[in-house]
Amino acid sequence: MSGITLTDLTKVYDSGAESVVAVEDLSLSIEDGEFLVLVGPSGCGKSTTLRCIAGLEDVTEGSIQFGEQTVTDYSASERDIAMVFQNYALYPHMTVRQNIGFGLKLSTSLPSAEIDQKVDAVAGMLGITELLDDKPKELSGGQQQRVALGRAIVREPSAFLMDEPLSNLDAKLRAEMRTELQELQANLGVTTIYVTHDQTEAMAMGDRIAVMNGGVLQQVGPPEDLYRHPVNEFVADFIGSPSINLLDATVQSGTLSGPGGFTYTLDDSGSIEGYERVRVGVRPEDITLVDDGENTAIVNVVEPMGNENFCYMELGDVEITARVLPSHRPAAGDAVPFSFPEEAVYLFDPDTGEALKTKTDEATDVAISA
Ligand code: ADP
């Protein structure tokens, strides 16, 4: 087992006239035994990064280390890692037992009895013992994914690389498998890099999350750090569901003015000194609908979630969302006053997106309120 270190990793795809910089100057260290989630929108370079680590793509520049060992030029088979993909690619004519044991049979000289023992142990761990004699077509999607995992685990690799492994499963099963995978990874203690475009999955699973955009690493940290202290507007917007509310504002003597007559006076405007314009961010759960709110928005629609309501409102030409108690259900067209505490306000440079102020640590994890 070992950690993984990427240093200035760059991957350019050259296809004749066009070249695409898929990953640019990526430096990232994954600790031994850590579960790191690589997340970002489609096309941001996640899979390419994973494929470079696996040895399935040559890197254009930079280096990859497993522990102390530089493996940049090693072939995939020399790297001792196991990949799990979205499509399970099980061999249809083989039983579950044969599918799980096949890699060991090919790559080791272990006797069949020993391979069987290992397969039994892994199948037990994954709760698929009773399926060992079945063929893949007899299995559900979730069971097939377990077999694919079993195939990876049985090889006892020094790292798992997982590329959207759960995205073919329905929502409920996906949530269950997330938990299972996390428990399994924690028990095995194998360094794991998990790629997803789904920020909810990233938040739920990662010890740390690395957010990428346009081939460039934006930020890496524990989920709650990224949520509360994003380095820029991209990360703030990408992490969190429903998304953070964002609006343009002008600044005058510490007072922010924005769309729909929005106005907010900061007690402490030190972070935006010299700025005439800023981007203002407020998370939906930090907005409270209160009679004496400083601002007013017009309700578009309220989505009841059971344990809370999402209240979508218009503030001039911007749509904002508030997460409110289920008992709070204003009607479409209502003008509702709202408020939010200064501790919860995010401010961003309007040109670079850089965060100038994030939630202060005193900002409580605001319980969803009125
Ligand atoms: P993600 O996994 O985040 O969706 P990818 O790593 O698959 O992103 O792709 C990153 C960028 O590299 C995209 O612009 C994609 O079109 C491009 N790309 C990926 N694979 C190739 C390839 N084999 N040849 C050319 N361009 C590629």
pLDDT of residue 364: 62
What residues are paired with 338 via a beta bridge?
289, 295
In angstroms, the CA 343 to CA 323 distance is: 18
Cβ(43) to ligand 1 under 6 A? yes
- Give 151-182 as a DSSP string: HHHTT--SEEEEESTTTTS-HHHHHHHHHHHH
Smallest CA separation from ligand 1 atom 10, residue: 45
Domain annotation for the chain: domains and CATH numbers? 3-228 (3.40.50.300), 244-357 (2.40.50.140)
Residue 114, both tokens: 């020993």
CA of 60 to the centre of ligand 1 (A): 14
pLDDT of residue 370: 46
Cβ(26) to ligand 1 under 6 A? no
pLDDT of residue 368: 52
What residues are paired with 310 via a beta bridge?
303, 323
Cβ(91) to ligand 1 under 6 A? no
Which residue reads 């299995």 in tokens?
139
Cβ(47) to ligand 1 under 6 A? yes
pLDDT tens, the chain, 370 aa long = 589 999 999 999 998 788 999 999 999 999 999 999 999 999 999 999 999 999 999 999 999 999 999 999 999 989 989 988 877 789 999 999 999 999 888 888 889 999 999 999 999 988 899 999 999 999 988 889 889 989 989 988 889 999 998 887 888 888 888 888 888 899 889 999 999 999 999 999 989 999 999 999 999 999 999 999 999 999 999 999 999 999 999 999 999 999 999 999 999 999 999 999 999 999 999 999 999 999 999 999 999 999 999 999 999 999 999 999 998 889 999 999 999 999 999 999 999 999 999 998 766 655 554 4
Smallest CA separation from ligand 1 atom 18, residue: 22
CA of 58 to the centre of ligand 1 (A): 14
Residue 256, both tokens: 């922010």
Atom of ligand 1 nearest to the CA of 215: 10
Alpha helical stretches, state H, 69-111: 96-107
Atom of ligand 1 nearest to the CA of 51: 6
List of residues 6+ apart from 178 with CB closer than 8 A: 166, 201, 204, 205
Cβ(45) to ligand 1 under 6 A? yes
Cβ(214) to ligand 1 under 6 A? no
pLDDT of residue 357: 97
Smallest CA separation from ligand 1 atom 11, residue: 22
Other CB atoms closer than 10 Å to residue 334's CB: what's the count?
15
In angstroms, the CA 179 to CA 273 distance is: 45
Contact predicate 37/165, CB 8 Å: no
Tell which one of 12, 21, 48, 199 to mutate to probe ligand 1, the residue whose CB is within 8 A of the most ligand atoms: 48
Determine phi and psi for 74, rounding to 5 degrees.
-75, 150
In angstroms, the CA 13 to CA 20 distance is: 5
In angstroms, the CA 248 to CA 280 distance is: 6
pLDDT of residue 131: 95
Atom of ligand 1 nearest to the CA of 23: 10
In angstroms, the CA 188 to CA 340 distance is: 44
Cβ(42) to ligand 1 under 6 A? yes
Cβ(46) to ligand 1 under 6 A? yes
Determine phi and psi for 102, rounding to 5 degrees.
-60, -45
- pTM given for the model: 0.91
| Distance set, CA 89 to CA 99, 149, 245 (Å) | 10, 11, 41
Smallest CA separation from ligand 1 atom 13, residue: 43
Cβ(196) to ligand 1 under 6 A? no
CA of 163 to the centre of ligand 1 (A): 13
CA of 30 to the centre of ligand 1 (A): 22
Smallest CA separation from ligand 1 atom 12, residue: 22
Smallest CA separation from ligand 1 atom 25, residue: 13
CA of 22 to the centre of ligand 1 (A): 6
